[in-house]
């Protein structure tokens, strides 16, 4: 299958996919953050000092095809990185100011996790063959993340989703930032810990406390919601890591600028990029990619409801 558990691919659905009724229409800018504040985002970036760190893992349960190993020392020049992912409120400011149209809007549809849809909508939408928990939903886009009828009105502080690589890069260019390189992302996500399993240490729920938004229960049917969230959580819902970064693990996958070169890509075609951190769909038994060394890949045009981004800036 070309989609991993984490992401479905547009290519998998072939030419039958296309815009239909329900797509299009003016963007919902009601949640917009003040433009000047968003444009000054680079000034609030967390500075990560220059220096080497140990990247990757030899964990027994690493995903070998993902290229998590070997552990190697990587020298990273100083850089700044966002404490949180870009939110709907911030993306609304960008769209309001520039009139930017996302790639999902151009395609007329995007990927939504089936359990977030009304039963009727779920039945009416196509599923990618390899990843049947995803649905291709006409009209799903950043401000209607589950398609027509959905809204971000109550989700201004949630990470923006349904954004492709191009969309993330356009936002970055607008505010004078860039996507992080993968090594930068991992160094920042480790929060100063050397070879810990998670961004906060080695225990998934230290003292019984949930530290990230992933899936509890049996994937993909039953979510016991022990961490409080089925879909996305607002940014800053969980404690930050040692560098002050929030939700590097879980919540939404985060685009990196690097091209994916590991073994898993045989059936992915075109411009395939690295994404890091895992999402609200990651599950212990199925996709433990909320470990800090875990990686995944996605085609540049494949937006979905569990993919967002945080930005970096040269120091």
User: Which H or E run contains 89?
Assistant: helix 88-98
Burial of 115 (C-beta count, 10 Å sphere; 0-12/13-18/19+): middle
Which residue has tokens 């966002």?
82
Nearer to Ca ion, 255 or 280 (CB): 280
- Residue 142 Cβ, how far from Ca ion at the closest point, in Å? 17
- Residue 186 Cβ, how far from Ca ion at the closest point, in Å? 12
Instruction: Give Rg (Cα) of the chain.
Output: 18
Nearer to Ca ion, 32 or 213 (CB): 213
- Residue 225 Cβ, how far from Ca ion at the closest point, in Å? 6
- Residue 290 Cβ, how far from Ca ion at the closest point, in Å? 8
Nearer to Ca ion, 116 or 313 (CB): 116
- Residue 164 Cβ, how far from Ca ion at the closest point, in Å? 17
x-or-dash string of contact with Ca ion, 246-265, rule CB under 5 A:
-x---x--------------
Nearer to Ca ion, 17 or 48 (CB): 48
| Residue 229 sits in the site that holds Ca ion (CB under 5 A) | yes
Name the residue number minimizing CB distance to Ca ion: 277
Judged by CB under 5 A, which of 213, 232, 241, 297 binds Ca ion? 213
Nearer to Ca ion, 131 or 279 (CB): 279
Nearer to Ca ion, 147 or 277 (CB): 277
Closest CA to 255 of 179, 159, 191, 184: 179
Q: Give Dmax (Cα) for the chain.
A: 53
**Which one of the spans 186-194, 201-209, 229-237, 288-296 is the region binding Ca ion (CB under 5 A)?**
229-237
Nearer to Ca ion, 138 or 182 (CB): 182
Distance CA 36, CA 201 (A): 37
User: Which H or E run contains 170?
Assistant: helix 165-174
Closest CA to 150 of 106, 104, 126, 117: 117
| Residue 88 sits in the site that holds Ca ion (CB under 5 A) | no
**Which one of the spans 13-21, 34-42, 119-127, 244-252 is the region binding Ca ion (CB under 5 A)?**
244-252
* Number of chain positions touching Ca ion (CB under 5 A): 7
| Residue 227 sits in the site that holds Ca ion (CB under 5 A) | yes
| Residue 94 sits in the site that holds Ca ion (CB under 5 A) | no
Please report the DSSP string for 211-279 in residue order.
Answer: -SB-B-SSTTT----TTS-SS---TTSS---TTS---SSBSSEEEEEEEP-SGGGGG--SSEEEEES--
Nearer to Ca ion, 12 or 295 (CB): 295
- Residue 11 Cβ, how far from Ca ion at the closest point, in Å? 24
Distance CA 39, CA 171 (A): 10
Judged by CB under 5 A, which of 277, 282, 294, 304 binds Ca ion? 277
Distance CA 247, CA 250 (A): 6
Residue 81 has φ and ψ, to the nearest 5°, of -145, 145
- Residue 155 Cβ, how far from Ca ion at the closest point, in Å? 15
Nearer to Ca ion, 234 or 277 (CB): 277
- Residue 15 Cβ, how far from Ca ion at the closest point, in Å? 32
**Tokens linked to 96:** 């309001």
Burial 239-276 (b: 16+ CB within 10 A, else e): ebbebebbbbbbbbbbbbbbebebebbeebeeebbbbb
Contact positions toward Ca ion, by CB under 5 A? 213, 227, 229, 247, 251, 277, 280
């Amino acid at each position: 299958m070309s989609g991993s558990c984490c992401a479905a691919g547009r290519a998998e659905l072939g030419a039958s996919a296309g815009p239909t009724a329900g797509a299009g229409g003016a963007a919902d800018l009601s949640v917009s953050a003040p433009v000047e504040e968003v444009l000054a985002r680079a000034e609030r970036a967390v500075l990560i000092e220059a220096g080497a760190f140990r990247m990757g893992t030899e964990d027994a349960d690493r995903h070998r095809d993902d290229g998590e190993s070997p552990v190697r020392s990587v020298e990273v020049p100083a850089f700044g990185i966002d404490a949180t992912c870009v939110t709907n409120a911030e993306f609304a400011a960008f769209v309001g100011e520039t009139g930017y149209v996302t790639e999902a809007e151009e395609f007329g549809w995007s990927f939504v996790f089936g359990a977030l849809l009304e039963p009727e909508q779920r039945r009416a939408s196509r599923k990618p063959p390899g990843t049947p928990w995803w649905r291709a939903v006409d009209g799903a886009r950043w401000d209607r993340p589950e398609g027509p009828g959905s809204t971000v009105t109550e989700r201004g502080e949630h990470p923006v989703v349904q954004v492709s690589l191009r969309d993330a890069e356009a936002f970055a260019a607008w505010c004078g930032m860039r996507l992080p390189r993968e090594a930068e992302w991992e160094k920042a996500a480790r929060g100063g810990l050397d070879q810990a399993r998670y961004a906060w240490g080695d225990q998934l729920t230290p003292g019984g406390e949930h530290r990230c938004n992933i899936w509890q229960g049996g994937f993909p049917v039953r979510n016991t919601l022990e961490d409080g969230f089925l879909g996305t959580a607002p940014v800053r819902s969980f404690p930050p890591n040692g560098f002050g970064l929030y939700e590097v693990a879980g919540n939404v996958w985060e685009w990196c600028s690097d091209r994916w070169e590991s073994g898993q890509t045989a059936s992915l075609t075109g411009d395939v990029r690295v994404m890091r951190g895992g999402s609200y769909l990651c599950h212990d038994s199925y996709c433990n990619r909320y470990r800090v060394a875990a990686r995944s890949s996605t085609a540049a045009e494949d937006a979905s409801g569990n993919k967002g981004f945080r930005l970096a800036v040269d120091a």
